[in-house]
């Protein structure tokens, strides 16, 4: 990766004057990955303001402070600066580090700070200079979305003119709509979103991402993917948040809506966030070694072993919603089998067959989904891999065949799989968290907060309400 020069505080002040910038927009995510922002008038900003940061109420942000101790500081990261394309007035946007005003230290529950600490651990242990991450975030585009929940009713309704269920509508052309689960890399006019994805790609480029490709995904209802270039862990977590921000805003301007829910549609493929990973040291890819299985080094195998060992606990951060486990089921290319393989998409870790050069060699962890907080998910994956490398763990033998058939034949006895529910994933995290707590990267307080919130605010919310399908199954019992 070429070195990118970070703007100085003084150069930012000068740019505010030269470009007649009206606002600084300070962006950050809450504990669970929801993007927040604070707009600051640029008129009277000076260098001291950017160095010190800007205060905000941490008690009003999910997963942060209590009301009795609420003050926190947003400190903009100059390296993350970009011109926000969605504001009418000239605006410079920054991703921020969150600082505790009590001792001017990084805030312990700042997801971005946790990602930075994981990168620092990698360097301080002498393992590698850089962890390169390349996430692939899939999403659905819908024309219409309605949902509601009340004591006496609950429903959701999704519609897309490009979906297979629209073929019988008056005036629709049956020939321009893909069949269920048959839309992968469809061409226009069947792919009705090519131009929209191109527009999104151009906006992504304007805010600093490097889009490399886009295409329609498998689900025949506007499921899409736009691939962008890999980079260092925290930068790529920033990019993932920025990607979702851009996608949502561009699509909204075309009077459509986007969801990154892992499984919005029954009997269609869900949306994943495949994460490509490699480690670099002294300019060399530590995951490459010629004439071994898939040209993977022994270090790469140790890293894989760590991820596979801790994968059930990782799901609590990488697949953090009840909806995540609607996707991790057989029959939809779901990466639920805890094995690795070359060029096998039914394994949770795939070694891309096309990545043959020393520079390109990587592993692809396919289990995560885009509902995750990328700062926490990427940090947790890295810590699991580091644990495998430090303990020199060995992965199970790779499986180079369809794993669903492999299991059905009886040869897959003892093969581990991902948790079947969010509750199971949270229990796995409770029982397997030491690899996260080492060197204080994650804290016990944060993990307890995460588990408590997920159980109380999400699992309980879902479990206590009648499900529409229960009326189909049980109304006349």
Per DSSP, the three-state class of 255 is coil
Q: What number of CA atoms fall less than 13 Å from residue 215's CA on the CB side?
A: 12
Kindly name the residue from 110, 217, 289, 387 that is annotated as catalytic.
Answer: 217
**In angstroms, rounded to a whole number, what is the distance separating the alpha carbons of residues 355 and 255?**
39
The token pair at 14 is 């000068």
Kindly name the residue from 225, 301, 428, 458 that is annotated as catalytic.
Answer: 225
Kindly name the residue from 57, 212, 252, 434 that is annotated as catalytic.
Answer: 57
Exposed e or buried b per residue across 109-146, where buried means at least 16 C-beta atoms within 10 angstroms of its C-beta: bbbbbbbbbbbebbeeeebbbbbbbbbbbbbbbbbebe
List all residues 6 or more positions away from 42 whose beta carbon is below 8 Å from its beta carbon.
16, 21, 22, 23, 24, 92
Closest CA to 287 of 396, 397, 385: 385
Tell me whether residue 274 is one of the annotated catalytic residues.
yes
Closest CA to 96 of 53, 152, 148, 141: 53
Tell me whether residue 170 is one of the annotated catalytic residues.
no
Tell me whether residue 57 is one of the annotated catalytic residues.
yes
**In angstroms, rounded to a whole number, what is the distance separating the alpha carbons of residues 142 and 219?**
12
For tokens 């109380």, what's the residue?
456
Q: Are strands 54-57 and 71-76 parallel, antiparallel or unpaired?
A: antiparallel
The token pair at 475 is 């109304």
The token pair at 387 is 């644990």
Kindly name the residue from 75, 197, 274, 302 that is annotated as catalytic.
Answer: 274
**In angstroms, rounded to a whole number, what is the distance separating the alpha carbons of residues 104 and 380?**
25
Tell me whether residue 298 is one of the annotated catalytic residues.
no
Is residue 446 within 8 A of residue 376, CB to CB? The reply is no
Please report, for residues 184, 271, 279, 329, 366, the alpha-carbon distance to residue 334 in angstroms, rounded to integers and kept in the order given.
Answer: 15, 10, 26, 6, 8
Beta bridge partners of 28: 36
Q: What number of CA atoms fall less than 13 Å from residue 225's CA on the CB side?
A: 23
The token pair at 293 is 């299985």
Tell me whether residue 37 is one of the annotated catalytic residues.
no
Tell me whether residue 217 is one of the annotated catalytic residues.
yes
Closest CA to 95 of 277, 239, 307, 203: 239
Kindly name the residue from 215, 345, 416, 427 that is annotated as catalytic.
Answer: 345
Kindly name the residue from 238, 364, 387, 428 that is annotated as catalytic.
Answer: 364
Q: What is residue 31's DSSP assignment?
A: T
**In angstroms, rounded to a whole number, what is the distance separating the alpha carbons of residues 242 and 151?**
37
Per DSSP, the three-state class of 280 is strand
Is the link from the previous residue into 189 a cis peptide, with omega within 30 of 0? Answer: yes
Exposed e or buried b per residue across 184-201, where buried means at least 16 C-beta atoms within 10 angstroms of its C-beta: eebeeebbbbbebbeebb
For tokens 């289990």, what's the residue?
367
The residue count for the chain:
477
Residues marked active site are found at 57, 136, 138, 217, 225, 274, 345, 364, 366
């Amino acid at each position: 990766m070429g070195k990118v020069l970070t703007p100085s505080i003084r150069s930012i002040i000068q740019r505010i004057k030269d470009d007649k910038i009206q606002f600084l927009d300070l962006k950050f995510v809450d504990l669970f990955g929801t993007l927040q922002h604070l707009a600051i008038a640029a008129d009277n900003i000076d260098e001291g303001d950017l160095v010190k940061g800007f205060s905000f109420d941490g008690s009003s942000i999910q997963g942060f402070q209590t009301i009795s101790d609420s003050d926190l500081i947003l400190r903009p990261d100059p390296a993350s600066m970009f011109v926000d394309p969605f504001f009418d007035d000239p605006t410079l946007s920054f991703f921020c580090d969150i600082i505790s005003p009590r001792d001017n230290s990084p805030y312990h529950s700042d997801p971005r700070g946790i990602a930075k600490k994981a990168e620092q651990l990698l360097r301080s242990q002498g393992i590698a200079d850089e962890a390169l991450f390349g996430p692939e975030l899939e999403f659905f585009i819908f024309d219409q979305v309605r949902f509601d929940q009340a004591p006496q009713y609950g429903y959701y309704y999704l519609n897309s003119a490009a979906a297979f269920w629209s073929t019988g509508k008056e005036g629709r052309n049956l020939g321009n709509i893909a069949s269920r689960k048959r839309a992968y890399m469809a061409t226009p006019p069947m792919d009705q979103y090519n131009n929209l994805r191109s527009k999104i790609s151009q906006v992504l480029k304007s805010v600093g991402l490097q889009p490399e490709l886009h295409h329609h995904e498998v689900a025949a209802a506007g499921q899409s993917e736009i691939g962008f270039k890999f980079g260092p862990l925290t930068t790529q977590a920033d990019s993932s948040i920025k990607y979702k921000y851009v996608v949502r805003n561009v699509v909204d301007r075309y009077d459509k809506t986007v969801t990154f829910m892992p499984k919005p549609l029954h009997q269609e493929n869900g949306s994943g966030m495949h994460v490509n990973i490699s480690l670099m040291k002294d300019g060399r890819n530590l995951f490459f070694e010629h004439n071994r299985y898939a040209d993977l080094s022994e270090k790469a195998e140790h890293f894989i072993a760590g991820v596979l060992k801790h994968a059930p606990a990782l799901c609590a951060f990488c697949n953090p919603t009840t909806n995540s486990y609607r996707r991790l089921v057989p029959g939809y290319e779901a990466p639920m089998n805890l094995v690795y393989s070359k060029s096998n998409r039914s394994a949770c870790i795939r070694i891309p067959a096309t990545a043959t050069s020393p520079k390109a060699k990587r592993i692809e962890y396919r289990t995560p989904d885009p509902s995750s907080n990328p700062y926490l998910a990427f940090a947790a994956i890295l810590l699991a891999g580091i644990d495998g490398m430090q303990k020199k763990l060995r992965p199970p033998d790779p499986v180079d065949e369809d794993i669903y058939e492999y299991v059905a034949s009886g040869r897959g006895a003892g093969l581990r799989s991902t948790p079947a529910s969010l509750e199971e994933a949270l229990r796995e995290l409770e029982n397997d968290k030491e690899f996260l707590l080492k060197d204080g990267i994650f804290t016990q307080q944060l993990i307890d907060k995460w588990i408590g919130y997920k159980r109380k605010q999400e699992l309980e919310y879902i479990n206590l309400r009648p499900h529409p399908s229960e009326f189909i199954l049980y109304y006349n019992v």
